[in-house]
Structure 1
Amino acid sequence: MGGGVGKTVSGLVAQSARANSIYTHAVVSLELPEKSEFIDIVRDAGCNLLVAPSKEELIRQIKAADIVQIEFWNHPAIVEFLCKFPLPAMRLIVWCHVSGLSYPAIPAGIMEVANRFIFTSRCSWEASEVESLPAEAKKTLDVISSGGGLEVLPLPKRTTERPLRAGYLGSLNFSKLHPDYVDYVAAVRAPDFCVRMIGDETNREVLEHQCRTLGRPGLLEFAGYKTDVAMELAGLDVLVYLLNPNHYGTAENALLEAMAMGVAPIVMDNAAERYIVEHGDTGIIVRTPDDVATAIDDYLSSRPNERIEMGRRAAAVVRERYRYERMERAFSGHYDDLLTQPKREFTFVDFFGATPADWFRVFHRDASIFQDDGSVRLPERLRRYSLLERTKGSVFHFLGHFPHDALLGAWAKALEDWEANDYHV
């Protein structure tokens, strides 16, 4: 229950309580939650919250539940829960919090067997595993965005009386941030242009080195991680939100929050962003560094009134579209349908595999990357960064959960050796 998923689940159950829904929720967190704020929201909503329950307690909860909803992504604890021991019969709804477009892929098997499989973005319809599903399996798919709660954010008054202020909000890890971010923003011609980088300072030294190499040492200003995101966004006019084309995100909460506060976004022409930003209306979609320069120099900076109007349109759209009320009503409709179906048993090892190494590798569309002999064949540059994460379902993440799995250990060592000897950003 950390980060985006914690915010979403707590928002859903709190809205269910506010709406006096006929459905009550019990929330099970397989591990200790990263952030207590979401725990408090769940408990304040009157929900029973279980943290790291025993096998016996987990089975009792599943047997007692009319519907089991799994918040799904490539986390080792989730796959272990599904595969380690037989689970009682259930009515199963899966809410998937990754797009499936690149890594991690969404295993086709779980989409085919779940009573309902719900994406968090329409972009997931473009995943090859989804496109290849039988027609009958596609009938059980739906999209419910995980974005919500934006209407409570402040909407500051924007002014034309100051120079344009640009920023980025989110992770600086290159599996998320575009590895060539500096090249894109350095194309802006205004000599005093600067992007305020709000978030963890991973890769700060690398990014600063890139700026100095291009002769733009003041191009990025590193603000570090901030708890008061609204205050930071209130100080921005433009969000330069350029992500790795292979990123795993869907709802993109940082982007939604910025838009909800009237910040005009610039995003890459990536699938997830295209389903959030309408080019020329609620933001600008770019493909090249020259596109970024044109967006900043020739439009957003030189035409501030139009920039402010774009921000207003963005705020109006996302505040209406991404609401917990919509989310709760959509899920209640699925719950109604599922209650007409009998509970049934699921054998998840049939498509996830029997070992931790299998569970890890099932999320990789390219089976040639992690070899049976323990070697690793690296993909092209932009796809490599996700392999080097220490969490996010990486081999290091899985090895931390299953330290005695020999294949996971061999793959992790191969990546560590490559990092030590050959890795260049």
Structure 2
Amino acid sequence: MRILHVAAHLGGGVGKAHAALAEARQAAGCLESHRFLLLEAPQDRRFVDRIVAAGAEVVVAPDAAAIARHTEAADILQVEWWSHPRLYECLARRPLPPHRLVLWAHISGLAPPVIPSALAELAEVTAFTSACSFAAGNLQPEIARRPEAFIVANSGFGFSAPREPSERPSGPPRIGYLGTLDFAKLHPGVFAAIDAARSDIRVRLFGSVDPGGAVATAAAAMRRPERVSLEGHADDPASALAGLDVFFYPLSPDHYGTGENALVEAMSLGLCPLVLDNPAERAIVSHGETGIVAGSLEECAGWLDWMVGHPSDVAALGAATARHVAAHHAPAATLSVFAALYDRAVAAPKRRRDYVEVLGAGPAEWFAASLGVPARGGEALSEASGLFGPTATKGSIAHFRRCFPGDPALWAIAG
């Protein structure tokens, strides 16, 4: 079976997931043929190189003729979906030859950017990276009509070797965070929660951070700034996480993530997670069984104090967490899901699909589709575009303008 993947790029969580799956396929001797079309040149080739080393082919920045040729030769076209402007352009700018369509959605769709419901209608199967996406409001009619066409394929995989309990040093649990240090993902009240803890805690934050940006400024403005250490980017996440006992992962309520690689990796090493009660995290962490799920930042402060006072309970939760991830978040499990998914999809005939009809004919309409609002919504569309803030966050108006700088309709939406 020949699978053609179309992706904006293979960085971050999407690239990490496919690198792990490619290596698992190679180890299992799978006979599927996988080719990846990247619509942008990769800025970081680590995952691309792993995918190629595992036997898959990667084509960077193909032109329209090449995209059509590869689509025609494939048994299944799998779109790695996360509302990137280049994905809209690839699907809707020029007609594709008849094909079978599978979507793997790498965003939750619970908040903008959404998973366009009309796009899911065109797909043979839509795979979510988290069960939380079943609650996406705009998808409810299609899920009710075709429940068998929506499944979950995990994209977050753990490390293979959790620590033994004897390896944990004595003393209070060591607390840290690893991931995106940007308030588009991280909850803006995280430093207030750390300040509010009664215990004299220390929290290490791993991730690239702008020294003059909002995160660094908020950390410096704390009442107890000595409680936080900004460690910078971790070249070896496993080593960074191995120096922690608690993974403090308070994300913004409307963040776009689903698989949460950093969270799953930390859990796989036996760290006890402390997360907020957001849908994506709640789908991964079971309160009191595989970590702590707090209802608010105020509760987070109380749980941090509890953890300092109960290190043995923290260690027991961490051990249970590692066992859970080993059983449920392994590449082999996701490969089994996709094997069944491909068998279902390939039974359907190849056919043409009118992506212009469902996504729109140009950048402004594509952006509207990513928000789930009418393309000619006027003031409502301009107001909705502000949900992303002014930076080039994934799928935002700034991101679309960066990809299509000469499009006057995008400038009109941005005001």
Give the TM-score normalised by the residue count of structure 1: 0.90
| Cα 1:378–1:142 shift into 2, 3 Å | closer
**Cα distance, 1:14 vs structure 2:** 2.6
> In structure 2, what is the equivalent of residue 423 of structure 1?
none
Aligned to 1:227: 235
Offset from partner CA, 1:243-265 (integer Å, 9 cap, x none): 00000100100101111111111
Give the Cα separation in 1 of the matches to 2:90 and 2:33: 23
- Confirm or deny that 1:54 pairs with 2:60: no
Question: How far did residue 388 of structure 1 move?
Answer: 2.6
Deviation at 1:134, TM superposition (A): 6.0
Which residue does 2:258 correspond to in 1?
250
Q: What is residue 189 of structure 2 aligned with on the other side?
A: 180
Q: Is the 8 A contact 2:159 2:269 kept in 1?
A: no
* 1:316 maps onto 2:318 in alignment: no
Contact 2:156 2:259 in 1 (8 A): yes
The Cα shift of 1:184 comes to 1.8
Amino-acid identity (%): 36
What is the CA–CA distance in structure 2 between the aligned matches of 1:185 and 1:110, rounded to whole Å?
Answer: 42
1:225 is matched by which residue type in structure 2? H
Question: Deviation of residue 38 (structure 1)?
Answer: 1.2
Residue pair 1:103, 1:248 contacting (<8 A) in 2 also = yes
The unaligned stretches of length 5 or more in structure 2 are 1-9
In structure 1, how many angstroms separate the alpha carbons of the residues matched to 2:183 and 2:216?
14
Aligned to 1:404: 406
Residue 361 of structure 1 corresponds to which residue in structure 2? 368
Secondary structure at 1:388 match in 2: coil
TM-superposed CA distance for 1:341, in Å, is 1.5
Q: 1:372–1:407: 8 Å Cα contact kept in structure 2?
A: no
C-alpha distance in 2 between matches for 1:319 and 1:154? 9
CA apart distance, 1:208: 4.9
Distance of aligned partners of 1:10 and 1:210 in 2 relative to their CA distance in 1, 3 Å threshold:
closer
Give the aligned partner of residue 420 of structure 1. none
Give the aligned partner of residue 136 of structure 1.
145
Residue 220 of structure 1 deviates from its aligned partner by: 1.4
Q: Aligned pair in 2 of structure 1 residues 179, 248: CA closer, same or farther (>3 Å)?
A: same
Partner residue of 2:272 out of 248, 264, 274:
264
Match of 1:277 in 2: 285
| Range with bigger deviation, 203-212 or 403-412 | 203-212
With over 3 angstroms needed to count, the CA separation of the structure-2 counterparts of 1:207 and 1:42, relative to structure 1, is closer
Q: Is the 8 A contact 1:76 1:398 kept in 2?
A: yes
Which of these residues, 324, 328, 339, is aligned with residue 332 of structure 1? 339
Question: What is the CA distance between 1:164 and its match in structure 2?
Answer: 2.5
Q: 1:378 to 1:129 in 2, by over 3 A?
A: closer
CA distance in structure 2 between the aligned counterparts of 1:365 and 1:214, rounded to whole angstroms:
38
1:205 Cα offset (Å):
5.1
1:113 and 2:122 correspond: yes
Contact kept? 1:72, 1:94, Cα under 8 Å: yes
**For residue 303 of structure 1, what is the aligned residue in structure 2?**
310
> Are the structure 2 counterparts of residues 203 and 350 from structure 1 closer, same or farther at C-alpha, using a change threshold of 3 Å?
farther
Amino acid in structure 1 at the alignment position of 2:240: E
Query: Which of 98, 106, 116 in structure 1 is aligned with 2:107?
Result: 98
- Tell me, what secondary structure is at the counterpart of 1:239? strand
Using a 3 Å threshold, how does the CA distance of structure 1 residues 248 and 374 change in structure 2: closer, same or farther? closer
CA drift at 1:45 = 1.6
Moved more, 195-204 or 235-244: 195-204
| Cα 1:321/1:93, change in 2 over 3 Å | same
Residue 394 of structure 1: CA displacement? 1.4
Per mean C-alpha deviation after superposition, the further-off stretch among 131-140 and 233-242 is: 131-140
Quick one: which amino acid aligns to residue 270 of structure 2? Answer: G
Q: What amino acid maps onto 1:312 in structure 2?
A: A
- Residues 322-379 of structure 1 show CA distances to partners (whole Å, capped at 9, x for unaligned) of 11111111111111122222101111111111110110121114569x9637983368
Tell me, in whole angstroms, the C-alpha distance in 1 between the residues paired with 2:334 and 2:210: 33
**Unpaired segments ≥5 residues, structure 1:** 415-425
Classify the secondary structure of the residue corresponding to 1:174. Answer: coil
Match of 1:80 among 84, 89, 93: 89
Alpha-carbon distance, 1:87 to partner? 0.2
Cα distance between partner residues in 2 of 1:222 and 1:42: 32
Going from structure 1 to structure 2, the CA distance change for 1:273 and 1:243 (only over 3 Å counts) comes to same
Q: How many Å separate the matches in 1 of 2:216 and 2:75?
A: 53
- 2:109–2:115 CA contact under 8 A, matched in 1: yes
Range with greater deviation from structure 2 (128-137 or 181-190): 128-137
SS in 2 for 1:301: helix
For residues 197-212 of structure 1, what are the structure 2 equivalents within 5 Å?
197-202=205-210, 206-211=214-219
- Indicate the SS of the match to 2:36: strand
Kindly provide the CA deviation profile for residues 57-106 of structure 1, in whole angstroms up to 9, marking residues without a partner as x.
11111110011111011101111000000001001111000000011111
- In the TM superposition, residue 396 of structure 1 has moved relative to its aligned partner by 1.4
Assess if the C-alpha contact under 8 Å between 2:121 and 2:142 holds in 1: yes
Aligned length: 405
Contact map agreement 2:184 2:393 (CA 8 A) in 1: no
1:388 partner letter: P
- The alpha-carbon distance between structure 1 residues 208 and 69, as it changes in their structure 2 partners (threshold 3 A), is closer
For 2:247, the equivalent position in structure 1 comes to 239
CA distance in 1 between partners of 2:20 and 2:262 (Å):
16
Structure 2 distance, partners of 1:215, 1:316, is 38
Out of 149, 162, 169, the position equivalent to 2:171 is: 162
- Give the direction of change, closer, same or farther, for the CA distance of 1:282–1:356 in structure 2 (3 Å limit): same
